């Protein structure tokens, strides 16, 4: 029996909700006006959703909806009650989605009323604790609750509350760009801002804008030194002219208490086409997981029992009627699906070289699975790869910046070659290429009679260098490692060696292995092994399907990857194949992959 983070609406499949139907008459047929009308009803305390394919709204109330209208630049709509109530029933399949959507709107309204959690203006379903649970190195970590409703087949409507973590800087943008500090400190702060916002990696920097009564997400564009709220010059917002940003705040947000000398940053909002000036001391930087200080990198890993405790606390704050008075109640416990609805994804039995088999884990316990993964390394070392091409490359080039030093480069190359020789049962040697800059390395490698496999240590984590190396060495199979990672790992190795010598264990002047270094070498060697077209191990028996295809889109949506795993009966050819392709994704504003392109790439994989 497992427990989910979902609570069911009572009485499960018998769920009903009384609603009214309202009609929207709008100046044009664009759907956003219907969503605007839903938002206006929400402001009146009424949850509403659009009835698909119509200009009608389903409103979660049994009382008549009072008619109203709204208008703005180039648009207008009128809302009127159609004079009829109806009852949504979960048993009617066409009503299920509407019930889920209404639930997703009703719950946040109660969260707003009954708790002190806060949210961003453009998201109703994600809420944050008011106070951070930890602050380190200028970054504050906040607990985050993400609400989502779902239809659970014959069981009813469930509400999941996913526990997460959000990171914000304690400093405002004004602090990062402060002008009243010495030039050295100014540069340091700017570097810190760039690092936390991942601007070096091409991100704009996501900001949280405290606009007094509400909080909004926006993106950093520019900080203009010497410009203050009183000196921005005139600008226009929503049809109104203002003499300056200060004038705007005084007229529109007098509660914000903005001073004439407050510095200004330019930011972009999703729904406004030009960057806008805002008070820089009202902006805090959202820190992505990749940019976190080392001391905070683990705090978003929440163990299950703690996760459960947070979710319970969330529901407790909402009381007995989390959707509001006279609304469906929520089950007191988390949903536990019956065993016949559970599917365990088991790690398969694995076949290695020398006909060695690693049995599947005996059960799903963490201990058993950890032991299974450790055993993979041991058997690979003992029995070697399942398959090694006859003409496998016997030389691995290792390109290392001269700055890092021969000793470090040679130790990496030597350990990689040792590992590869052991796994392939072939003598694999290394060629060390010490280089001044990338152009020098490319030139040395191109001078080789044949292209092959190269482990390229890049002394620069900038994405452009990363790409440049891949582009220049298109005929090579390149495994990249950053210089900082290598130096960090080697330092740990030397530190252990020092400790070891101090205790009398060091021998032969060569640093002994340490756990971090070994793990680092092993992981990189496994990837090099793949570049050498070797198969370290494979599922010992056929899987449920002959082929499995994984599709994923990169975090910035500029690339997507397809990975095809084929594992068939031993008598069929090919018995095993793994192929991964990465393609450019031109429509990076969409999460989805264009269906024509996806279809063609999948066909090409076969």
Partner 1 sequence: MVFEGMEPGVASSRVAAAKPASIPWSYSRRNLLQQCPLSYYFEYYGSKKRTAEAEPRKERLRFLKGLSNRHLRTGEITHLVIRTYLNRLREGEEWSLERLVSWARDMLHADVEFSRAYRPDNPLPSGPKAPALLSEFYYGTADAGHLLGEMEERLVAALTNFVGSPRIEPFRVGALNPGAEVERHFNLKQRRFSVQGMMDLAYPEEGRVVVVDWKTGGVGSPDDVLQLYSYGLEAAARFGCDLSDLALYRVGLADDEVSSFVIGERGAVRAKVRILQDLEAMAELDHYGREGVVAAFTPCGQQRVCAQCKYQQYCPKEEQP
Burial tier of 512 (Cβ tally within 10 Å: 0-12, 13-18, 19+):
middle
CB of 409 to partner 1, least distance (A): 23
Q: For residue 596, state whether it binds partner 1 (rule: CB under 8 A).
A: yes
Among 238, 172, 235, 178, residue whose Cα is nearest residue 207: 172
Query: Are 18 and 98 contacting, i.e. CB atoms less than 8 angstroms apart?
Result: no
Q: What are the start-end ranges of the E strands in 427-511?
A: 429-435, 453-458, 477-482
Q: For residue 446, state whether it binds partner 1 (rule: CB under 8 A).
A: no
Question: Residues 6 or more apart from 508 whose CB is under 8 A from it?
Answer: none
- Closer residue to partner 1 in complex, CB, 86/201: 201
Q: For residue 407, state whether it binds partner 1 (rule: CB under 8 A).
A: no
Terminal Cα-to-Cα distance of the chain (whole angstroms): 40
Q: For residue 376, state whether it binds partner 1 (rule: CB under 8 A).
A: no
Q: How many CB atoms lie within 10 A of CB 125?
A: 17
Residues paired with residue 77 on neighbouring β-strands, in sequence order: 26, 70
CB of 197 to partner 1, least distance (A): 11
Candidate segments 126-134, 327-335, 355-363, 595-603, binder of partner 1 by CB under 8 A? 595-603
Candidate segments 266-274, 306-314, 327-335, 491-499, binder of partner 1 by CB under 8 A? 266-274
- Subset of residues 212 to 251 that bind partner 1, contact rule: CB under 8 A: 221-222
Q: For residue 467, state whether it binds partner 1 (rule: CB under 8 A).
A: yes
Q: For residue 420, state whether it binds partner 1 (rule: CB under 8 A).
A: no
Helix or strand (DSSP H, E) at 285:
strand 283-286
Cis peptide before 11 (omega within 30 of 0): yes
Size of the site for partner 1 (CB under 8 A): 59
3-state class (DSSP) for residue 239: coil
Q: For residue 113, state whether it binds partner 1 (rule: CB under 8 A).
A: no
Q: For residue 531, state whether it binds partner 1 (rule: CB under 8 A).
A: yes
Orientation of helix 304-318 relative to helix 93-114, angle to 10°: 80
User: Residue 374 and residue 533: Cα distance in Å, rounded?
Assistant: 23
CB of 583 to partner 1, least distance (A): 5
Q: For residue 32, state whether it binds partner 1 (rule: CB under 8 A).
A: yes
Given 1, 43, 73, 320, the residue binding partner 1 (CB under 8 A): 73
Given 39, 121, 313, 586, the residue binding partner 1 (CB under 8 A): 586
Q: What are the start-end ranges of the E strands in 108-203?
A: 126-128, 134-136, 139-151, 157-172
- Closer residue to partner 1 in complex, CB, 4/200: 200
Given 109, 302, 387, 553, the residue binding partner 1 (CB under 8 A): 387
Helix or strand (DSSP H, E) at 413:
helix 406-424
Cis peptide before 87 (omega within 30 of 0): no
- Closer residue to partner 1 in complex, CB, 8/566: 566
CB of 194 to partner 1, least distance (A): 11
Burial tier of 295 (Cβ tally within 10 Å: 0-12, 13-18, 19+):
exposed
Candidate segments 10-18, 317-325, 427-435, 586-594, binder of partner 1 by CB under 8 A? 586-594
Q: For residue 547, state whether it binds partner 1 (rule: CB under 8 A).
A: yes
CB of 477 to partner 1, least distance (A): 5
- Closer residue to partner 1 in complex, CB, 295/588: 588
Burial tier of 322 (Cβ tally within 10 Å: 0-12, 13-18, 19+):
buried
Given 259, 349, 541, 587, the residue binding partner 1 (CB under 8 A): 587
CB of 592 to partner 1, least distance (A): 8
Given 134, 237, 364, 578, the residue binding partner 1 (CB under 8 A): 578
Given 354, 436, 541, 579, the residue binding partner 1 (CB under 8 A): 579
Given 360, 369, 533, 542, the residue binding partner 1 (CB under 8 A): 533
User: Residue 160 and residue 242: Cα distance in Å, rounded?
Assistant: 45
Quote the DSSP letter at residue 281.
Answer: G
User: Residue 126 and residue 118: Cα distance in Å, rounded?
Assistant: 9
Q: For residue 577, state whether it binds partner 1 (rule: CB under 8 A).
A: yes
Given 271, 298, 340, 508, the residue binding partner 1 (CB under 8 A): 271
Quote the DSSP letter at residue 594.
Answer: P
Q: Are strands 350-351 and 357-358 parallel, antiparallel or unpaired?
A: antiparallel
CB of 533 to partner 1, least distance (A): 5
- Closer residue to partner 1 in complex, CB, 235/315: 235
Q: For residue 594, state whether it binds partner 1 (rule: CB under 8 A).
A: yes
Query: Are 397 and 428 contacting, i.e. CB atoms less than 8 angstroms apart?
Result: no
Helices (H), 18-146: 31-43, 93-114
Candidate segments 136-144, 288-296, 361-369, 567-575, binder of partner 1 by CB under 8 A? 567-575
Candidate segments 5-13, 24-32, 241-249, 500-508, binder of partner 1 by CB under 8 A? 24-32
Residues forming the site for partner 1 (CB under 8 A): 30-32, 35, 73-74, 199, 204, 221-222, 266, 271, 273, 275, 387, 389, 462-465, 467-468, 470-471, 477, 530-531, 533-535, 546-547, 558, 566, 568, 572-590, 594-597, 606
């Amino acid at each position: 029996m497992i427990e989910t983070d979902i609570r069911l609406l009572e009485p499960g499949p018998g769920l009903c909700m009384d609603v009214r139907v309202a009609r929207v008459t709008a100046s044009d047929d664009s759907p956003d006006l219907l969503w605007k009308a839903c938002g206006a009803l929400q402001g009146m305390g009424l949850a509403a959703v659009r009835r698909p394919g119509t200009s009608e709204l389903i409103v979660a109330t049994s009382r008549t909806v009072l008619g109203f209208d709204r208008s703005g630049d180039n648009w207008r709509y009128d809302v009127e009650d159609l004079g009829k109530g109806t009852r949504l029933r979960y048993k009617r399949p066409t009503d299920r989605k509407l019930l889920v959507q209404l639930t997703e709107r009703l719950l946040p309204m109660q969260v707003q009323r009954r708790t002190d959690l806060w949210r961003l203006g453009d998201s109703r379903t994600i809420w944050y604790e008011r106070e951070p649970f930890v602050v380190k190195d200028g970054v504050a970590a906040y607990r985050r609750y993400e609400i989502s409703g779902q239809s659970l087949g014959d069981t009813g409507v469930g509400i999941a509350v996913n526990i997460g973590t959000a990171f914000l800087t304690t400093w405002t943008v004004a602090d990062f760009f402060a002008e009243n500090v010495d030039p050295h400190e100014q540069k340091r702060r700017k570097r810190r801002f760039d690092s936390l916002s991942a601007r070096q990696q091409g991100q704009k920097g996501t900001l949280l804008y405290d606009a007094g009564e509400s909080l909004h997400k926006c993106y950093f564009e520019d900080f203009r030194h010497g410009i203050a709220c009183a000196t921005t010059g005139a600008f226009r917002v929503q049809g109104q002219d203002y003499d300056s940003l200060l004038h705007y705040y005084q007229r529109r947000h007098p509660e914000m208490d903005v001073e004439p000398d407050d510095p200004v940053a330019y930011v972009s909002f999703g729904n406004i086409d030009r960057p806008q000036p805002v008070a820089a001391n009202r902006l805090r930087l959202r820190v992505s997981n990749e940019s976190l200080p080392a001391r905070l990198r683990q705090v978003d890993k929440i163990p299950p029992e703690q996760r459960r405790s947070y979710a319970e606390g969330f529901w407790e704050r909402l009381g007995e009627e989390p959707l509001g008075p006279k609304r469906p109640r929520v089950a007191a416990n988390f949903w536990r699906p019956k065993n016949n609805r559970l599917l365990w994804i088991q790690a398969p039995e694995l076949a290695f070289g020398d006909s060695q088999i690693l049995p599947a884990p005996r059960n799903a316990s963490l201990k058993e699975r950890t032991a299974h993964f450790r055993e993979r390394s041991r058997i690979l070392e003992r029995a070697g790869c399942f398959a090694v091409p006859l003409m496998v490359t016997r030389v691995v080039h290792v390109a290392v910046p001269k700055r890092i030093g021969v000793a470090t480069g040679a130790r990496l190359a030597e350990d990689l070659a040792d590992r590869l020789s052991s796994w392939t049962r072939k003598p694999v040697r290394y060629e060390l290429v010490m280089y001044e800059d990338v152009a020098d390395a490319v030139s040395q490698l191109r001078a080789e009679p044949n292209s092959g496999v190269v482990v390229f240590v890049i002394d620069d984590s900038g994405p452009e260098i990363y790409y440049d190396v891949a582009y220049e060495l298109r005929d090579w199979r390149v495994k990249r490692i950053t210089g900082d990672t290598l130096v960090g790992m080697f330092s740990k190795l030397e530190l252990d060696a020092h400790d070891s010598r101090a205790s009398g264990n060091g021998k032969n002047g060569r640093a002994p292995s340490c756990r971090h270094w070994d793990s680092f070498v092993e992981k990189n060697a496994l990837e090099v092994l793949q570049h050498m077209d070797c198969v370290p191990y494979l599922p010992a028996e056929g899987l449920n399907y002959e082929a499995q295809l994984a599709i994923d889109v990169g975090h910035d949506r500029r690339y997507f990857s397809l990975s095809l795993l084929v594992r068939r009966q031993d008598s069929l050819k090919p018995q095993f194949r793994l192929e991964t392709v990465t393609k450019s994704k031109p429509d990076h504003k969409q999460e989805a992959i264009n269906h024509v392109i996806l279809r063609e790439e999948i066909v090409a994989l076969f």
